[in-house]
Chain A
Amino acid sequence: MSRLSAKFAALKKEGRAAFVPFITAGDPDMETSFAILEKLPSCGADIIELGMPFTDPMADGPAVQASSVRALKSGATLAKVLKMVEKFRKADKTTPIVLMGYYNTVHAHGTARFAKDVAAAGVDGLIVVDLPIEEDEVLRVPAHAQGVDLIRFVTPTTDDARLKRIVADASGYLYYVSVAGVTGTKSVPEDEVRAAMARVRAVTDLPCTVGFGIRTQEQAAAIALLADGVVVGSAIVGQVAANLNAGKDKVIAEVLDLTRALAGSTHAARHGKVPA
């Protein structure tokens, strides 16, 4: 069983939603970012989304854009990102890591080689923002052959016919983008998420996480009642930006504090009950 399946199976047994923090690898520098990564599981992260920095993150709002800029300025490269995962994996055999980024990073490396190298580093899933189902076969197939899931998106603009096509070749889990927009700019609309989860559950047994508009503990708790996972990105990388002037230790402490708080709310939300 893959680390992702094992994790979702365990969460299901415990009757709680996954807390999934997003950080950008190399933000604000490789060392600090590894120090954060390493401690995320003990702060309540069930799965980690690790951003591969890109010069032109078209689907991201200002907070994630800025984190990419910081990472690239500090010299982040794919090779360093993979080293970071490898090092993490030596100590942590169970927390799934999902790399998130843009297709040109994959393309430049070569899709087959990318699939092999990420698997070797200990990556469990890939989220490639600008690789819709019409184009994803080139990566999905080689990744799958290496035991790495390509995570597909469902969005507020996805109709039922398209949803069926999306889940048909999906594996790992689904990522519901809760708002039409870029990361970190709008707030998650609970009622719409509830309706979307019902639509998704009607067509697949795959777990479904929700992200793109969740910043607060209240939002995290509310979404934990509806979905299998709660993703928070902009608010977390926002803590890197907010504390940079106070030094690396402060950055690490604040990011982890926020993770603990959000994970706490996510985990407590259901009090062990599976949502109806």
Chain B
Amino acid sequence: MNQIPNSLRAGPDANGHFGAYGGRFVAETLMPLVLSLEQAYEAAKKDPAFHEELSGLLTHYVGRESPLYFAERLTAHLGGPKIYLKREDLNHTGAHKINNCLGQILLARRMGKTRIIAETGAGQHGVATATVAARFGLPCTIYMGEVDIERQKPNVFRMRLLGAEVRSVSSGSRTLKDATNEALRDWVANVHDTFYIIGSVVGPHPYPAMVRDFQTVIGNETRAQMLDREKRLPDLVVACVGGGSNAAGMFHPFLDDTGVEIHGVEAAGDGVDTPRHAATLSKGSPGVLHGARSYLLQDGDGQILEAHSISAGLDYPGIGPEHSWLKDMGRVKYYSVTDQEALDGFMLLSKLEGIIPALEPAHAIAHVCKVAGQMKKDDIIAICLSGRGDKDIFSVAEKLGEKL
């Protein structure tokens, strides 16, 4: 990769800082592990055998590359720019999460770790982790908040079918944040044999950079596919942002393309002017949680606030540090979309394109519905369709007042 000296793609620095964000804020017991993970990752990055194995698995196990699909009827419906969907929903296990899990489990094997743990919100990362753990024959424990276990039942069962142990977390808000706390507690107690596969671009360095790197396959493919199809780059790239991994992977290859506008879409829950939302960048302030400095939903005393979203995967009061940096710098603009708007986006894509999206990328769809009108007819938008909606049909049915 040719990196121009002042490339926005060069971060983080040696200590894992993206400007004022990132870093390694973990207990001393974990520090040696975090440092050895960084070493192992740096070594793997330079090892062609590692890339070859990963790329083989991405092709033959995940089914990459994923299509860049021209959403003809959605385009017509919105009457404006051409809309393309990057079909991460077609990946094995139904979301982008597997791209990262494969990279990390290969690292775990290189490091000689024999046990896998992970946190999960929507269950997509849990399923992807359980999947790669099964594929490589490693025992696996997934932490999941009680609330999420209730609203993502199909994924809980899938994880169990895959041989994972799902541990229910009943502390705090009983969602993704608390599952992450429990996974960190497990890790610190099992430092010798356990590899923690973090599911998004969060956590202590090197996780935010490493997870981004593993997800950058999304943006790299999108960029090449777009150049192939349209002979030019898109005008706007859009992705939903929970922790920010599908967005980081989608955005990264476009960061230095000044002609490409980039939008991240957060979950506004009941609305950003209510207390029930997960719009960390829009409404939060910088703080330190789960190993990194980044924007957070917190009160004046630094107590973490509970996030709320219909989408379990976006229901997190933090965000990856690189997104905080990109926001402050203004390179990426972050917007938010309410539960209701996301539901509308979910229904719209299902009916117009025959694609039932996950509730997370339904936020990205909803955002595009809002901005398409302000764009030109020959503009091009690329949306990361980060996952499929099978896991969400129960929550959507409930929201629509239907009993399955």
Q: Which residues of A contact B (CB under 8 A)?
A: 54-61, 65, 72, 77-78, 102-109, 129-135, 152-159, 162, 166, 177, 180-182, 185-186
Contact = CB atoms under 8 A, between A and B. Distances in A.
Contact of A134 (B31, B188, B296, B298): B31
Contact of A108 (B25, B26, B184, B301): B301
Given A65-B171, A107-B288, A181-B188, 17 more contacts: A56-B172, A56-B181, A56-B290, A58-B185, A59-B27, A59-B29, A105-B302, A107-B286, A108-B287, A108-B302, A132-B25, A134-B15, A157-B30, A157-B33, A162-B31, A180-B29, A180-B192
Contact of B303 (A60, A72, A158, A162): A72
A257 to B, nearest CB: 29
Given A104-B302, A134-B15, A181-B188, A155 B290 contact: no
A132 to B, nearest CB: 5
Given A58-B181, A132-B31, A104 B304 contact: yes
Contact of A181 (B171, B189, B290): B189
A135 B27 CA distance: 11
A133 B15 CA distance: 12
Q: Which 7 A-B pairs have the closest CB atoms?
A: A108-B302, A181-B189, A153-B28, A155-B29, A104-B302, A55-B304, A157-B32
Contacts of A181: 29, 185, 188-189
B371 interface: no
For B178, B289, B290, B291, the residue with the greatest tally of chain A CB atoms inside 10 Å of its CB is B289
A120 to B, nearest CB: 18
B177 interface: yes
Contacts of B296: 104
B24 interface: yes
B303 A186 contact: no
A132 B301 contact: no
Contact of A132 (B26, B177, B188): B26
B298 A108 contact: yes
Contact of B188 (A59, A77, A105, A166): A59
Contacts of A155: 27-29
Contacts of B23: 134-135
Nearest to A155: B29
Given A103-B288, A104-B298, A130 B25 contact: yes
Given A104-B298, A108-B298, A180-B191, A135 B24 contact: yes
A188 B156 CA distance: 36
Contacts of A102: 288
15 contacts: A56-B172, A56-B304, A58-B181, A102-B288, A104-B289, A130-B26, A132-B26, A133-B28, A134-B15, A155-B28, A157-B29, A158-B28, A180-B188, A180-B190, A181-B188
B287 A104 contact: yes
Query: Secondary structure at chain A's binding surface: helix, strand, loop or mixed?
Result: loop
A77 B301 contact: yes
Contacts of A77: 301
A72 B28 CA distance: 26
Contacts of A108: 287, 298, 300-302
B205 to A, nearest CB: 9
A181 B181 CA distance: 13
A129 B296 CA distance: 19
Contact of A130 (B191, B291, B300): B291
B351 to A, nearest CB: 41
Contact of A56 (B27, B177, B190, B301): B177
A33 to B, nearest CB: 17
A199 to B, nearest CB: 15
B288 A104 contact: yes
A62 to B, nearest CB: 8
Contacts of A103: 25, 288
B303 A107 contact: no
Nearest to B173: A55
Contact of A186 (B24, B30, B189): B189
A59 B298 contact: no
Contacts of A133: 28, 31
Given A157-B32, A158-B28, A58 B184 contact: yes
B146 to A, nearest CB: 15
